[in-house]
Amino acid sequence: MLDKYDLYELCAQAPLRDARFLRAIHGGDPRILGEDFSGGGAIARQWVEIVPEGKAVAVDLDPEPLQRLRGHKGITVVCADVNKATQKADIIADLNFSICEIHKRVNLVAYFKHALSRLKRGGVFVADIYGGSDSYYTGTISQRKNAPGGERITYDWEQRHADPLTGRVVNAMHFRVSAPPAKAGKKKSGVKSRPVRLDDAFVYHWRLWTVAELREALTEAGFKTTQVFPRFAEAIDDDGNLYVSPVSSPSELGDSYSVYVVGRK
């Protein structure tokens, strides 16, 4: 049976793509990834799979999703506030908009200073954020996906509250899971199983930072340079390595966008 963390990873994450993208953004030979606000550590798991001699540090305050990392070779699990982590890394990543868990600018700058202290020479900090003309619209976006086991999933992303005066938003994730269809030739039981619903599987109370606010806070925290990268690569080679370039003009973003904001040590 798929639990809510399985569904989150299947519907809301692309950990292999993110791991490859983080390597490309770094631009060197990074070995150690710090995944802050890691949840189940999906990116950390992919990192140690694709990076030769790669290691990862997964940091989260919630012990429940961290249980998924038990026994994973090369991953150090830290159940603590991200500001308490001390392990060094070549990259520290806050993805899936987890930087929005920090609501006050003073706390944002303090966290960036702490992340900077953990980075090795030439290290990078990477967070993603969404924005644009419809970033404060309320409503629901639905997607359908098939799980590896054949389960059919309907995934709803709901922005139920948004206040552009304060930058606060409330978002929720809902799932509906139907059993795999019967295989050809297999006799049906005659009992139709009902879909399993997980309403409000995850609910987030976020401060939706702008790209400019994040870059200014990174600079104030002591990062030498900041950049913005689109979520797509320019090219990919036969080994799966991505080639990326930073955004050079606001016209590249479009009316609505999701981007990586990067600080370099």
Per residue in 197-250, pLDDT (tens digit) is: 999 999 999 999 999 999 999 999 999 999 999 877 565 766 667 777 888 888
Burial of 110 (0-12, 13-18, 19+ CB in 10 A): middle
Q: Two tokens at 159?
A: 């922005």
Mean pLDDT score, 146-166: 93
pLDDT at 34: 98
Among the listed residues 78, 86, 11, 83, the one whose alpha carbon sits nearest the alpha carbon of residue 41? 78
Listed in sequence order, the DSSP H helices in the chain are 4-12, 15-26, 42-50, 63-66, 105-118, 211-221
pLDDT at 233: 59
Q: β-strands 89-94, 32-36: how paired?
A: parallel
Burial of 231 (0-12, 13-18, 19+ CB in 10 A): middle
Q: Where are the domains of the chain?
A: 4-132+209-264, 144-207
Q: What is the pLDDT of residues 164-203, one digit of tens each?
A: 999 999 999 999 999 877 665 555 555 456 788 999 999 9
Q: What is the pLDDT of residues 50-80, one digit of tens each?
A: 999 999 999 999 999 999 998 899 999 999 9
Share of the chain above pLDDT 70, in %: 92
Q: What is the pLDDT of residues 131-150, one digit of tens each?
A: 998 999 999 999 999 988 88
State pTM to two decimals.
0.90
CATH of 4-132+209-264, one of 2.40.50.140, 3.40.50.150, 3.90.870.10, 3.90.380.10: 3.40.50.150
Distance (Å, rounded) from C-alpha 77 to C-alpha 57? 6
